[in-house]
Structure 1
């Protein structure tokens, strides 16, 4: 037991007994009846023990009274009432009686003395902090004059180590301006943030509106970014699972907050219908998208989750995470590549999955430009292996994870993913399996994406490299993308390409500036931005639709369906076999020429298009030469 608790107990003993003397003195107008006083004196020890025991059970000695609030006051009131009722019962049982008025006054006196000395302690602590810790403390502006803002103020005051002093509150509700919360004034609305920060010498801004929509948060952050203050935020209500506000949950504003996308609303019943109790296979299950898919799937209690990945470290990490978070999950990890046709077929034959999510693919555009044969082997041949095995063993549903780069591709990676879309659509025409694709753009924070690269460059002091000042991309978070993939899978009838609503495109150079500011630096002053030119295969902007006239809405406001023209599988398979021959015996140039035949909208920008334009006679000769060597 600490010295502070011992001191508190000793103080309570003195105050509890003082309550009886005060009550009797008031009752008898200063002339205490000796007989009544004797009854009290004979039972004083037992009374004190009873009250201390009740106080202990009400945790009055476990509360940190420097943080005392109304909740602690209620505990004191409840403990005082309970302990005095027990004392009355004890004295009645012992045939020892005190006047009823004394019992009432003792109870009230207990509340005032026991509660009072605790709150005096808190007031002293606050006074001492204000006097001695004013220098060196951060001046904090709170955005949001609601209950969350009030709790943030309380938390900041209660944690001396933070050295944070709330100096003002901002709120868009005009009725609150001029009022105060816990002594902190509400001084204006969001448009006043810059002026207030400058006038009051604010060091840090904390946005405390957990119920706000993402777009509102983005707008507020935009205002805050005009200052040089550090910007922090209280997570949204969907992140505050227990609904409690604490300083540990206040985090720095990150790029997700600037994206301004609202939380995805899912039809849980539909998703449960094809996931719960079913055997689910995720290829590439250790990657950024694959691992998040596994997390989301695990929430819906699958009968068995099978993760196939060629990288053991990724598979090991997601295995440990899922085992920790989902104790009863039936999980199996298989280390293999989808390029291994025999092994892939063996896995599907043995495991008999009901649903396959195919996320295994090479995705880095510049690397695949340098290694087109490897892109074809993994993305096209690997997909074909999984598709044919799924068809052979009557998998109910097959969901291909595709990309916006498959639309009018300018890269090898995009062209291979477009071929993958053609494979699943053509196979769907003849198979009992429902084959579908889900197409979306960039996801924030995925392995090898621009966000981790920018963060690394900022940590190294710059420069932050941007390929073109006008380049734009669509972004969504990894969890949102995977949730929409699961939702699209529940809608699948077979043959569809589901297109996810990615919102508005974002200029990459603006993204770089935002990340620099969020890291506490000024773009071009502290951290330079360098334009390095478009990389091989890279577009200035991405597209999602091959044919806008063939798009239809779904019941979900963020999911659309595109139904492009479908090639017959036999003709497509013939070209795939030619592609296989070119990979085995040909050159990169021949592989790319075949890709241009298979994907007529594919335009290279790494090489001279004229050199690889699929002229009928020349290509035919090339293919015949390759085929003759088989």
Structure 2
């Protein structure tokens, strides 16, 4: 590949720098030897053998170049940047090696060269000090030239640890950085009044307002690796009161692996304020039942299904079969998993779980060993209007998938359920509860691992509350909240999928595994925070609870236990079973208080 102009310029500047450094080092050795000789002979110039002096000076220059090449201080690639700790060590080794070689030479050839051994010791010390001083000055000049422009945004760094230090290092050495660090905020008393990469530590978290006022800071960057949602909410509240915009850093693992990059900084999002610390999953338990297996995912084009497919692909299944009735959704998940959306592969299957015969043929043809059933209708108010559709998809559709799985001896079947199945009051809750019972029955009668996993609202899933609020704010429309006191459980899509995969590895047949969602969150608080973050004046309209909707969701139903034998974030409950022979639509409709002609009435 031909070199670009910028590459040639960079290579040329490095080459020039190495030449300049060598010339300076050569002059330093001459100067060091000269002053060492003067000192040794008490400034009696006539006592110096200038021929021998010239020989040692030439030898020092040659040795400095050769040893310098070996230890990379004169290579064009400059493996270690000038003036860094690594460069200092290598430069010291080079100068020390040259001095030792010439010192031994002065001993061995003392009768011939007439050079005092003390001269070389003094010269080596002088040369070392001068060489290091030159590189220190050079680095200071380079860093000063690389500092952000004075018109860059004055910025406070919250956290003076590893991430904060690396962040400041990047800012102070990148002239294109839009941020100029003016102070560090940290509660560690040992850091107070100290400087980190030249930036002073000005106060604690409680003093942000005072520090922001004194420094005229406009941005606050959170550089704390384990910052949880509680801390981030406090940060946002303090920042909003003091006119600071908030940005956050990536996880510490990414910083360690890749260092700091400009595009790593991002605005604080509502997901940050709702999320929790990442839940640890046991990869060996997940890989144990997925690696080398044929895995099928229903509802693969949905938010949960597509992320499941992405996660499953990491564990090396022999085949990943993605099934959905939404062709656009299948194209998107194929892009995520395979890197293309050509749809000319049997990895994607266009089918509807309502079609029992179709599912049976697909399962008999592909013979999956592990099935994740994520296909469902999930919008509560829509199913309240059209309960028959909930019956067809969430109940009969699940039954069809279970029948097809049992017919080909699927080893592990994971049904994705919802918190609304706990003490259900809605069509959605009742239909998913029946799906849990059917799954439990098949687990008992197949002897295989058939189980359900129950969790609440997933942040950012398609059609969920957060994307809806975001769009309404963008369009300057009021946010609709059912009730000022309503709360819901939330978790991120990746976290939900990781725990679903974990549950498939530790779950036992017939169980309902309930994922720990943390504390429920006020919907009104979310709406208020999103409006505050937008900087707009948006109204909030209360509409009242909808039919079938609870004020506060539950994860555990009456009579269900919360035993956690394997994972601290996964509870195991025994699910009641329901035989397919006892499945009765009339009883289902009666239980939810709907008539069979509800669909007709709303058509």
* Corresponding residue for residue 168 of structure 2: 153
Q: What stretches of structure 1 of length at least 5 have no aligned partner?
A: 580-592, 604-611, 624-630
Partners of 1:248 and 1:318 in 2: CA distance: 25
- Conserved in 1, the CA contact under 8 Å of 2:36 and 2:123? no
Partners of 1:377 and 1:222 in 2: CA distance: 47
* Corresponding residue for residue 595 of structure 1: 588
* Corresponding residue for residue 438 of structure 1: 453
* Corresponding residue for residue 30 of structure 2: 21
- Conserved in 2, the CA contact under 8 Å of 1:157 and 1:164? no
Deviates more, 1:362-371 or 1:44-53: 44-53
The 5-angstrom pairing of residues 195-594 of structure 1 reads 195-212=210-227, 215-217=230-232, 219-240=234-255, 242=257, 244-323=259-338, 332-519=347-534, 521=535, 526-534=537-545, 537-548=548-559, 550-572=561-583, 575=584, 579=585
Partners of 2:60 and 2:256 in 1: CA distance: 48
* Corresponding residue for residue 4 of structure 1: 13
The 5-angstrom pairing of residues 74-113 of structure 1 reads 74-78=89-93, 80=95, 111-113=128-130
* Corresponding residue for residue 627 of structure 1: none
Partners of 1:514 and 1:125 in 2: CA distance: 43
Q: Decide whether aligned partners of structure 1 residues 359 and 181 sit closer, same or farther in structure 2, where only a CA change above 3 A counts.
A: same
> Could you tell me how far 1:54 is from its partner in structure 2?
4.1
The 5-angstrom pairing of residues 125-140 of structure 1 reads 125=142, 127=144, 133-134=149-150, 136-140=151-155
The 5-angstrom pairing of residues 41-190 of structure 1 reads 47=63, 50=66, 53-54=69-70, 62=78, 69-78=84-93, 80=95, 111-125=128-142, 127=144, 133-134=149-150, 136-190=151-205
- Conserved in 1, the CA contact under 8 Å of 2:412 and 2:448? yes
Q: Decide whether aligned partners of structure 1 residues 527 and 63 sit closer, same or farther in structure 2, where only a CA change above 3 A counts.
A: farther
Q: What do the CA deviations read for 1:64-107 (whole angstroms, capped 9, x no partner)?
A: 96x96434434544565578789999999x99988766666666
Question: What is the RMSD computed on CA atoms of the aligned residues?
Answer: 3.8
Q: What do the CA deviations read for 1:531-575 (whole angstroms, capped 9, x no partner)?
A: 455556544332223314544333322211333543343211xx1
- Conserved in 2, the CA contact under 8 Å of 1:166 and 1:184? yes
- Give the one of 30, 33, 37 matched to 2:49: 33
> Could you tell me how far 1:443 is from its partner in structure 2?
0.9
Indicate the SS of the match to 2:371.
Answer: strand
- Conserved in 2, the CA contact under 8 Å of 1:279 and 1:354? yes
Partners of 2:292 and 2:546 in 1: CA distance: 45
> Could you tell me how far 1:439 is from its partner in structure 2?
0.7
> Could you tell me how far 1:270 is from its partner in structure 2?
2.7
- Conserved in 2, the CA contact under 8 Å of 1:232 and 1:251? yes
Partners of 2:275 and 2:168 in 1: CA distance: 26
Q: What do the CA deviations read for 1:156-195 (whole angstroms, capped 9, x no partner)?
A: 1112222422222222223332333234332332222233
- Conserved in 1, the CA contact under 8 Å of 2:68 and 2:94? no
Indicate the SS of the match to 2:491.
Answer: strand
State TM-score, norm by structure 1: 0.80
> Could you tell me how far 1:266 is from its partner in structure 2?
2.1
- Conserved in 2, the CA contact under 8 Å of 1:12 and 1:114? no
Partners of 2:475 and 2:124 in 1: CA distance: 65
Q: How many residues align?
A: 576
- Conserved in 2, the CA contact under 8 Å of 1:390 and 1:433? no
Q: What do the CA deviations read for 1:399-431 (whole angstroms, capped 9, x no partner)?
A: 100011223444433332222122212333322
> Could you tell me how far 1:506 is from its partner in structure 2?
0.8
- Conserved in 2, the CA contact under 8 Å of 1:15 and 1:113? no
> Could you tell me how far 1:21 is from its partner in structure 2?
0.9
Deviates more, 1:470-479 or 1:109-118: 109-118
Q: Decide whether aligned partners of structure 1 residues 77 and 418 sit closer, same or farther in structure 2, where only a CA change above 3 A counts.
A: same
Partners of 1:307 and 1:21 in 2: CA distance: 74
- Conserved in 2, the CA contact under 8 Å of 1:58 and 1:75? no
> Could you tell me how far 1:374 is from its partner in structure 2?
3.5
> Could you tell me how far 1:488 is from its partner in structure 2?
1.8
Partners of 1:114 and 1:346 in 2: CA distance: 78
- Conserved in 2, the CA contact under 8 Å of 1:398 and 1:434? yes
Deviates more, 1:174-183 or 1:397-406: 174-183
* Corresponding residue for residue 5 of structure 2: none
Partners of 2:85 and 2:232 in 1: CA distance: 31
* Corresponding residue for residue 586 of structure 1: none
- Conserved in 2, the CA contact under 8 Å of 1:380 and 1:416? yes
Partners of 1:287 and 1:270 in 2: CA distance: 25
